[in-house]
Amino acid sequence: MPESLIRAGIENKLLEQINVTASQSTGSKEPCLQSYDRDIRVADLGLDSLKLVEVVFELEAEFGIDVDESMLIQVSTLGDLVELVFSAIHTEIAT
Q: Can you list the alpha helix ranges (DSSP code H) found in the chain? A: 3-26, 49-63, 78-94
Phi-psi region of 64 (alpha: psi -120 to 50; beta: other; left: phi over 0): left
Contacts (Cβ under 8 Å, ≥6 apart) of 81: 14, 42, 52, 55, 56, 75
The segments of the chain whose pLDDT lies below 50 read none
pLDDT at 85: 93
DSSP state at residue 29:
S
As a CATH number, domain 3-94 is 1.10.1200.10
Instruction: Give me the residue spans of the domains in the chain.
Output: 3-94
